[in-house]
Structure formats: structure tokens, C-alpha cells
Amino acid sequence: MDISTLFILLGIGLLAGALSGLVGVGGGIVMVPALVMLLGFSQHQAQGTSLATLLIPIGLLFSVINYHKTGNVNISYAAIIALAFIGGSYFGSSLALKLDQVLLKRIFGLMLAAVSIKYLLGK
């Protein structure tokens, strides 16, 4: 790894972390496109790397502690979602690895576009 790659990775991490703390996004919306566009990762590599990146910060829960202190975490809902996330992420990753990269990129782009339109035009 060269120094420019290191700085790109640090920038991706800082941006993803800041946006995660700010608006709850980071992995899919920031890291995946950045890894593909800036470092030439395949869609599969970017998604896998993004998921692996989340292991440590999610495990340490520093951002969750800040939200919890202000009463903005519903622990029981989070626990249910986390349990379902385990199964969903396994099946989703299994499906993603079977799909062609171009199709996977299109699905990813459509999902981002749909969410963007809903947020921009919704109340």
C-alpha cells in the first residue's frame, strides 16, 4: 500500500464516520462508492470491505453511547433489528456474490436513487 492509498482510506473512513454519526449513513452510501470510484474495487470487494470495516466501530459502540446519553436509542428495537440483520446480511451477501457486478451496481444505484427521491420530495 502506498501513501496516497493510505490517505484515501483515511479520508473515506473519516467521511463515513462523520456522516454515520451525523445522519446514520456511512457504509453503503459512502464507503462502497468511494472504494469503487477512488480505489478501483469491484462492487463485491467494496461491499465486503465496507461490512468488515463496521466490525470494530459497531462493536465498540462509541457513537451509540452518544445517542444513548440523550435518549435517542431504543435498545429493544435495536436488538430485534440486530438479530434480524445477522440473518439478512448472510442471505443478502450470499445473493450478492451470485449476481453479476454490473447488475449489482445497478441495484445499488437504484436503491440510492429511490431513497434520495423519497427524502428530497417527501415531507
Q: What is the pLDDT of residues 42-95, one digit of tens each?
A: 988 988 888 788 766 666 667 778 888 888 878 888 787 778 778 888 888 889
Q: Which DSSP string do the residues of 97-115 spell out, in sequence order?
A: HHS-HHHHHHHHHHHHHHH
Mean pLDDT of the 100-110 span = 90
| Sequence-distant (≥ 6) Cβ neighbours of residue 123 within 8 angstroms | none
Q: How many domains does the chain have?
A: 1
Alpha helix (H) residue ranges in the chain:
3-23, 32-39, 43-53, 55-60, 62-69, 75-98, 101-121
Cell numbers given for 48: 465486503
| Amino acid (1-letter code) at residue 32 | V
Range of the domain at 32: 3-121
